[in-house]
């Protein structure tokens, strides 16, 4: 039996302050042992992790601030972190726990000297002592504590050894808030400042930053990452789709036919499915980005790509938000916070949605499957990703030479030692990305699914209902009664849809897309996809499985790809061909069809104008490229009916 914990007598707020990568997050984990909950800084959308723990009758609220290198903020994250430490901040902590990396003690003592000017008690957590020892430069912790006049506790990042002592220090009597600023010469007294031994990191860098092998390996790493995402996510996607079908069947068996059943099955269950189906890919890609980040490789990618990205007007660090955007542009837009220069940040944010996100993939897959031979699939898919990248480079280049000219872009970044990424950190980042997707995009997609369903379901025509009721009566007791009734049901649904609001809107807007070769059904799909692009697949599914019945009565429930391939217009001419399919894919690759991303850009840029600009230029670009493909392709004689 452990003794009963002492009753809580006092509260204390502790801020973990230190450079990014110094080990703040793992320290928080070891100190509290409880899952952290991300909390926004008051009035901002910058997140920090915090957790509470009790020790010796003291309730400690421990806050993990974004990494800082000095008291001069260089990015939005740093600015918010520093504001919370300032005098008069409602968040001002009672004590600062400076998290210092023993492998660069001399540099860290400069930061510590600045932290002493805050007028707060400071205690020191020294991390990565094992790494410093491996480099042949151990630190004499007790001598450091003596020289600084502050409590110094060595904490092991992986095992958590030392965390318990740290808690005791934080809950105990604190050192004076004022005191002499430490002198950088202390470092040479407690640690050998000779050149470090050659380490694993040096050997790996010799290969990974090599003039030739470096870029080749970077390309391989990226290709491997995408391959992993698609192959590993596939079974999970299939599971979600199967579950959706089961749920639909269940609802159909419980609810009578009519508006309610249609709302539940075609509106709610379908909407839920189209949200959930993205989770495996988003979680996997964010986890891989976290692995690259946590291992130290992401900083190398930035180093290798900085020059190339600068030619387009971006900066090496833009690589992090841009690669994140291949999963989902929403975390990508948030990740632009690591960019110090506001112009770099805006330019990156505005082109990030051109990276083909996981929501575009189902569209590509359906269209490629329907209109192109299997051996061309990989090439076409890669082409769509490349189209987005090339357009992003051009747009960024244009912006940086016009409205976003100038600015003081800096690189000046640390390349950390390579290390095993912490599993908890990787899982935590994937988890929080999925959470923010569900909260922001998920609700919009779900709501939009229901709206699209309503537009396609109403108004119900009495005349159509009466006509088909008469047909049903005429069937009588024929041998193939069930089959004929099912046909009639499908045709009735098609007839109802053709006079719905959705079809009316689609038909009136269709002339805009005529030059791209899109018929009214594709136009309806495009319109339905403006709140969230993934809606095109279920919408086209509804449109074709219902409207297509007249063209091909033998298969009342064809898969979407067959329906698309076989679709004909009133005169019986095919409405789609490989050329139009290509134009449609390009349209989806470039068009801004995600209201959640636009909302994220508005929030992060603090202006509606950049959000609306992103929407406008992407939509215009998509239309131009789609029309260009169709017109130019027909001139060359592609895509004409055989």
d(CA 343, CA 365): 36
Q: Which is nearer to another protein, 259 or 308 (CB)?
A: 308
**Omega cis (within 30) before 379:** no
The CA-based diameter of the chain, rounded to the nearest angstrom, is 101
Q: Minimal distance in Å, beta carbon 340 to another protein?
A: 8
Compute how many other C-beta atoms are within 10 angstroms of the C-beta atom of residue 363.
Answer: 24
Give the distance, in angstroms, between the CA of residue 44 and the centroid of all CA atoms in the same chain.
19
Using the structure block, give the residue that is written with the tokens 């690759």. 589
Compute the half-sphere exposure of residue 349: CA atoms within 13 Å on the CB side of its CA. Answer: 33
Q: Which is nearer to another protein, 209 or 394 (CB)?
A: 209
The DSSP output letter for 314 is -
Q: Which is nearer to another protein, 217 or 228 (CB)?
A: 217
Q: Which is nearer to another protein, 219 or 242 (CB)?
A: 219
What's the token pair of residue 102?
């023993």
Q: Which is nearer to another protein, 53 or 339 (CB)?
A: 339
Q: Which residues, in sequence order, are CB contacts of 270 under 8 Å at separation 6+?
A: 244, 248, 449, 453, 538
Give the distance, in angstroms, between the CA of residue 389 and the centroid of all CA atoms in the same chain.
17
Residue 594, SS3?
strand
Q: Which residues, in sequence order, are CB contacts of 595 under 8 Å at separation 6+?
A: 444, 448, 530, 531, 532
What's the token pair of residue 396?
């960024």
Binding site for another protein (CB under 8 A): 69-70, 72, 74, 103-107, 110-111, 132, 135, 137, 193, 195-196, 201, 205-206, 209, 211-212, 214-215, 299, 302-304, 306-308, 316, 408, 410-416
Q: Minimal distance in Å, beta carbon 641 to another protein?
A: 49
Q: Minimal distance in Å, beta carbon 208 to another protein?
A: 10
Q: Minimal distance in Å, beta carbon 211 to another protein?
A: 5
Angle between helices 342-351 and 377-401 (to 10 degrees): 150
Q: Minimal distance in Å, beta carbon 293 to another protein?
A: 16
Q: Minimal distance in Å, beta carbon 44 to another protein?
A: 22
Q: Minimal distance in Å, beta carbon 332 to another protein?
A: 23
Q: Which residues, in sequence order, are CB contacts of 32 under 8 Å at separation 6+?
A: 51, 52, 53, 62
Q: Minimal distance in Å, beta carbon 154 to another protein?
A: 17
Q: Which is nearer to another protein, 216 or 620 (CB)?
A: 216
Q: Which is nearer to another protein, 212 or 479 (CB)?
A: 212
Compute how many other C-beta atoms are within 10 angstroms of the C-beta atom of residue 371.
Answer: 22
Compute the half-sphere exposure of residue 21: CA atoms within 13 Å on the CB side of its CA. Answer: 22
Query: Which of 554, 455, 556, 549 lies closest to 509, judged by CA?
Result: 455
Q: Which residues, in sequence order, are CB contacts of 298 under 8 Å at separation 6+?
A: 289, 292, 319, 320
Q: Where are the alpha helices (DSSP H) in 255-263?
A: 259-262
Q: Minimal distance in Å, beta carbon 249 to another protein?
A: 56
Q: Which is nearer to another protein, 319 or 457 (CB)?
A: 319
Q: Minimal distance in Å, beta carbon 192 to another protein?
A: 10
d(CA 536, CA 540): 6
Q: Which is nearer to another protein, 297 or 610 (CB)?
A: 297
Using the structure block, give the residue that is written with the tokens 């506790």. 153
CA distances from 18 to 60, 178, 351, 578 (A): 19, 19, 32, 56
d(CA 558, CA 582): 22
Q: Which is nearer to another protein, 320 or 452 (CB)?
A: 320
d(CA 637, CA 631): 10
Q: Minimal distance in Å, beta carbon 75 to another protein?
A: 11
Q: Which is nearer to another protein, 106 or 469 (CB)?
A: 106
Q: Which is nearer to another protein, 202 or 550 (CB)?
A: 202
Q: Minimal distance in Å, beta carbon 93 to another protein?
A: 22
What's the token pair of residue 212?
């030739």
Q: Minimal distance in Å, beta carbon 156 to another protein?
A: 19
Q: Which is nearer to another protein, 22 or 629 (CB)?
A: 22
Angle between helices 481-498 and 462-475 (to 10 degrees): 170
């Amino acid at each position: 039996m452990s003794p009963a914990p002492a009753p809580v007598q006092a509260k204390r707020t502790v801020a973990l302050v230190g450079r990014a990568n110094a080990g703040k997050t793992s320290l928080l984990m070891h100190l509290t042992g409880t899952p952290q909950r991300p909390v926004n800084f008051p009035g901002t959308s910058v997140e920090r992790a915090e957790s509470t723990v009790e020790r010796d009758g003291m309730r400690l609220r421990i806050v993990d601030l974004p990494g800082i290198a000095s008291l001069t903020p260089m990015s939005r994250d740093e600015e918010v972190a520093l504001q919370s430490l300032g005098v008069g901040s409602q968040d001002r902590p009672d004590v600062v726990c400076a998290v210092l990396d023993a492998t660069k003690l001399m540099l860290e003592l400069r930061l510590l000297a600045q932290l002493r000017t805050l007028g707060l008690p400071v205690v020191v957590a020294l991390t990565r002592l094992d790494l410093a020892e491996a480099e042949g430069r151990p630190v004499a912790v007790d001598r450091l504590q003596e020289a600084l006049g502050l409590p110094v506790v060595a904490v092991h990042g992986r095992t958590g050894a030392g965390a318990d002592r740290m808690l005791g220090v934080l809950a105990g009597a604190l050192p004076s808030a004022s005191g002499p600023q430490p002198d950088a010469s202390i470092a040479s007294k407690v640690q050998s400042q000779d050149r470090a031994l050659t380490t694993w990191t040096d050997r790996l860098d010799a290969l990974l930053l090599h003039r030739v092998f470096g870029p080749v390996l970077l390309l391989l790493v990226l290709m491997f990452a995408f391959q992993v995402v698609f192959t590993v996510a596939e079974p999970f996607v299939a599971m979600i789709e199967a579950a959706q079908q089961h749920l639909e069947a269940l609802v159909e068996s419980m609810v009578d036919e009519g508006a309610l059943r249609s709302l539940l099955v075609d509106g709610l269950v379908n909407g839920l499915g189209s949200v959930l189906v993205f989770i495996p890919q988003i979680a996997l890609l964010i986890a891989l980005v976290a692995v690259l980040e946590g291992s130290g490789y992401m900083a190398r990618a930035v180093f290798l790509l900085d020059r190339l990205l600068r030619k387009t007007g971006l900066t090496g660090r833009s690589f992090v938000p841009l690669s994140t955007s291949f999963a989902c542009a929403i975390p990508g837009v948030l990740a632009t916070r690591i960019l110090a220069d506001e112009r770099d940040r805006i330019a990156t944010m505005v082109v990030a949605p051109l990276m083909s996100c996981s929501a575009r993939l189902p569209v590509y897959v359906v269209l490629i499957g329907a209109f192109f031979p299997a051996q061309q699939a990989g090439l076409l898919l890669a082409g769509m990703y490349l189209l987005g990248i090339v357009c992003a480079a051009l747009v960024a280049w244009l912006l940086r030479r016009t409205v976003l000219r100038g600015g003081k872009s800096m690189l000046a970044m640390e390349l950390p030692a390579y290390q095993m990424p912490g599993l908890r950190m990787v899982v935590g980042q994937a988890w929080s990305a999925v959470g923010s997707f569900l909260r922001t995009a998920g609700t919009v997609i779900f709501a939009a699914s229901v709206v699209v369903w309503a537009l396609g379901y109403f108004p119900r025509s009495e005349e159509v209902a009466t006509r088909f009721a008469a047909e049903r009566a005429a069937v009588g007791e024929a041998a193939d009664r069930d089959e004929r009734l099912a046909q009639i049901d499908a045709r009735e649904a098609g007839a109802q849809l053709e006079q719905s609001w959705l079809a009316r809107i689609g038909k009136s807007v269709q002339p805009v897309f005529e030059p791209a070769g899109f018929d009214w059904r594709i136009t309806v799909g495009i319109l339905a996809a403006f709140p969230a692009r993934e809606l095109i697949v279920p919408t086209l599914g509804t449109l074709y499985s219902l409207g297509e019945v007249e063209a091909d009565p033998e298969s009342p429930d064809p898969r979407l790809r067959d329906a698309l391939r076989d679709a004909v217009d009133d005169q019986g001419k095919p409405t789609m061909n490989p050329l139009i399919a290509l134009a449609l894919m390009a349209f989806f690759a470039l068009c801004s069809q995600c209201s959640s991303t636009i909302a994220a850009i508005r929030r992060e840029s603090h202006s509606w104008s950049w959000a609306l600009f992103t929407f406008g230029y992407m939509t215009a670009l998509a239309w131009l490229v789609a029309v260009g493909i169709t017109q130019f392709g027909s001139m060359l004689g592609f895509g004409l009916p055989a």
